[in-house]
Amino acid sequence: MVSYKELGLVNTREMFAKAIKGGYAIPAFNFNNMEQLQAIIKAAAETKSPVILQVSKGARNYANQTLLRYMAQGAVEYAKELGWEKPQIVLHLDHGDSFELCKSCVDFGFSSVMIDASSLPYEENIALTKKVVDYAHQYDVTVEAELGVLAGVEDEVSSAVSHYTKPEEVVDFATRTGCDSLAISIGTSHGAYKFTPEQCTRDPKTGRLVPPPLAFDVLDAIMEQLPGFPIVLHGSSSVPQEYVDMINQYGGKLPDAVGIPEEQLRKAAKSAVCKINIDSDSRLAFTAAVRKVFAEKPGEFDPRKYCGPARDLREELNKHKIINVLGSDGKA
Ligand SMILES: [Zn+2]
Handedness of CA 122, 124, 130, 132 (dihedral sign): negative
pLDDT value at position 285? Answer: 97
Closest CA to 256 of 303, 201, 315: 201
Measure 237 CA to ligand 1 centroid, in angstroms: 11
More confidently predicted of 193 and 177: 177
**Whole-model pTM?**
0.94
Measure 327 CA to ligand 1 centroid, in angstroms: 21
The answer to the question of residue 79 being in a domain is yes
* Mean pLDDT of all residues belonging to the chain: 93
Q: Which amino acid does the sequence have at 252?
A: G
pLDDT value at position 256? Answer: 82
Count of domains observed in the chain: 1
The answer to the question of residue 331 being in a domain is no
The answer to the question of residue 332 being in a domain is no
The answer to the question of residue 294 being in a domain is yes
Measure 89 CA to ligand 1 centroid, in angstroms: 19
161 pLDDT more than 50: no
- CB-side neighbour CA atoms (13 Å) of 269: 23
pLDDT one-digit tens code per residue, 8-63 = 999 999 999 999 999 999 999 999 999 999 999 999 999 999 999 999 988 999 99
- Strand (E) or helix (H) holding 99: helix 99-107
Are the beta carbons of 9 and 33 closer than 8 angstroms?
no
Query: Residue 119 has what DSSP assignment?
Result: T
283 pLDDT more than 50: yes
Measure 234 CA to ligand 1 centroid, in angstroms: 4
Neighbours of 310 (CB within 10 A): 23
The answer to the question of residue 133 being in a domain is yes
pLDDT one-digit tens code per residue, 309-325 = 999 999 999 999 999 99
Mean pLDDT (whole number) for 165-186 = 96
pLDDT value at position 156? Answer: 37
pLDDT cut 90: percent of the chain above it: 81
pLDDT one-digit tens code per residue, 213-230 = 899 999 999 999 999 999
Which residues are known catalytic residues? 94
151 pLDDT more than 70: no
Strands 142-147 and 273-278: unpaired
Measure 323 CA to ligand 1 centroid, in angstroms: 22
Q: In which domain, by residue range, is 291 found?
A: 4-326
pLDDT one-digit tens code per residue, 240-249 = 999 999 999 9
CATH number of the domain to which 210 belongs: 3.20.20.70
155 pLDDT more than 70: no
The answer to the question of residue 313 being in a domain is yes
Any residues with CB less than 8 A from the CB of 39 and at least 6 apart, and which?
282, 311, 312, 314, 315, 318
152 pLDDT more than 70: no
pLDDT value at position 253? Answer: 95
The answer to the question of residue 309 being in a domain is yes
159 pLDDT more than 60: no
Mean pLDDT (whole number) for 101-126 = 95
Mean pLDDT (whole number) for 180-185 = 96
Any residues with CB less than 8 A from the CB of 232 and at least 6 apart, and which?
28, 144, 181, 182, 183, 184, 273, 274, 275, 276, 277
Measure 294 CA to ligand 1 centroid, in angstroms: 31
162 pLDDT more than 50: no
154 pLDDT more than 60: no
Mean pLDDT (whole number) for 244-272 = 94
More confidently predicted of 63 and 154: 63
79 pLDDT more than 50: yes
